[in-house]
Copies of this chain bind each other. A is one copy, B any other.
Amino acid sequence: MHDPKMTINAFQLALAEGKAEPLDWWHACTARIDQREPDVQAWEALAVEQPVAPETYLGDSLLYGVPVGIKDIIETVNLPTSWGTRGYLSSPGALVDAALVTLLKEQGALIMGKTVSTEFAYFTPGKTRNPHDPSRTPGGSSSGSAAAVAAGMVPIAFGTQTAGSMIRPASYCGVFGFKPTFDTLSPAGVKPCATSLDTLGWFARHIEDICTTFSALTRAPLITSLKNLAGVRVGVRSLPGDIPLDTDVEQALAHAQERLVQAGAELVPLALDARFEALVEHQKVVMAYEAAQSLASEYSRFAEQMGPKLVELIKDGKAISYVRYLEARRTTNTMQQAMSSLFDEDVDVILAASASGVAPEGIEVTGDPLYCRAWTLLGVPCLNLPLSQGADGMPVGVQLIADRWQDQKLLQIASTLMAKEMPAEARYCYG
């Protein structure tokens, strides 16, 4: 039954109609992993036992029988966790699952395994390769989850974003990646990096599956598409404005604008001021200051084994004064209000670049989160749309952004946009 076009809802329907068995998708994914994992290396640990599934379909479990991948900074009882450390810190199994894992199980999801993370979700890469080109990075820090979904190994996989760790790998791997509003899902059992930024999110090959997962985890009503995007105002601007964009990204933004207009949306040019530009630096300050606190114990014991970039982050964070940190937090607060006014008055969503270009060559670096830093700092929901291809046929995404707690609106607009006709090969890119 392995069909990359299968959506969660279609599988639920097949189950309800007796046309599929609860473990069908699990077996299909297992076979796909056997086939693709030697090249992609998305997994840190895989479930060894076939899950036990109730024989009858549970109609109110939105994710019944859906195999999911979990980033390896998220704790699990029955699977080891190593936080991207490649062994210097690892646990054979936690005392309790991360809250997310239990919430997924309650919705009937099957935990397929733990996906590769960079070291403590910062920059030191793991072993994972881009399914579209194994000589390239899948992006990070949620490297394995993005790659596993892109390679068709699981329909859904979870990651976190502190700077650009969901949107960037989604763009590089050609999948949808959703970072909901900050605080939408509980971080219980997730290793903190910078706790005012860390946000759980998920990847999928279908916008419909992003939406189903959102409803499953928040108990929000199911998202329904609009007839078209008439009346929807889309703020258009790349970020930051004074850095020239890569041609691939320019073209991806132009393509997305075209599609938005075709679907009936109105484009609104945005002139965000210099205070907005400054958010990138404030994000770096908040991230380093908080990471130096959050990872203090790991640093005190494992500094010698840590990658140089993580050591640098923590050292930078220790050198940041409380006054400088407060300035960043206060500015963030002011800008959150300014953005809310913008969203109240001028636009429904904003269209922006997801990354600086296609996935870079090599797996020693995971690319630059520059284009995501300000949005993460603001805590707004961001969704990568895998709409385009750039150099060498590699995927290039764009992101749609809404105001905090406007996740449902954002997903509804994206659903409507994606329901419109487009070339199949540009829509989903399988490795």
Question: Footprint of B on A, CB under 8 Å?
Answer: 89, 91, 95-99, 101-103, 105-106, 183, 185-189, 191-192, 195-196, 218-220, 290, 293-298, 300-301, 321-323, 326, 329-330, 333, 337, 404-405
Q: Are A297 and B219 in contact, with the CB atoms below 8 A?
A: no
Q: Are A196 and B183 in contact, with the CB atoms below 8 A?
A: yes
How far, in Å, is A298 (CB) from chain B's closest CB? 6
Q: Are A219 and B102 in contact, with the CB atoms below 8 A?
A: no
Number of copies: 2
Chain B residues in 8 Å Cβ range of A333:
404
Given contacts A185-B293, A186-B294, A218-B322, 19 further A-B contacts (CB under 8 A): A89-B95, A89-B96, A91-B95, A96-B301, A97-B297, A99-B192, A99-B294, A102-B297, A105-B300, A106-B296, A186-B192, A186-B290, A187-B195, A188-B195, A188-B297, A189-B297, A329-B405, A330-B405, A333-B404
Chain B residues in 8 Å Cβ range of A102:
296-297, 300
How far, in Å, is A294 (CB) from chain B's closest CB? 4
Which of A97, A196, A220, A326 gathers most chain B CB within 10 Å? A326
A95 to B82 CA separation, bound complex (whole angstroms): 11
Q: Are B188 and A293 in contact, with the CB atoms below 8 A?
A: yes
Chain B residues in 8 Å Cβ range of A186:
192, 195, 290, 293-294, 296
Chain B residues in 8 Å Cβ range of A294:
99, 186, 188
A414 to B220 CA separation, bound complex (whole angstroms): 45
Q: Are B183 and A322 in contact, with the CB atoms below 8 A?
A: no
Q: Could you write out 11 A-B pairs with CB less than 8 Å apart?
A: A89-B95, A96-B301, A99-B192, A99-B294, A102-B300, A103-B293, A183-B329, A186-B294, A188-B294, A188-B296, A330-B405
Chain B residues in 8 Å Cβ range of A101:
297
How far, in Å, is A242 (CB) from chain B's closest CB? 30
A103 to B95 CA separation, bound complex (whole angstroms): 25
A321 to B97 CA separation, bound complex (whole angstroms): 24
Q: Are B183 and A188 in contact, with the CB atoms below 8 A?
A: no
For A190, the closest partner residue in chain B by CB is B192
A300 to B96 CA separation, bound complex (whole angstroms): 10
A404 to B333 CA separation, bound complex (whole angstroms): 10
Q: Are A219 and B322 in contact, with the CB atoms below 8 A?
A: yes
A103 to B289 CA separation, bound complex (whole angstroms): 13
How far, in Å, is A187 (CB) from chain B's closest CB? 6
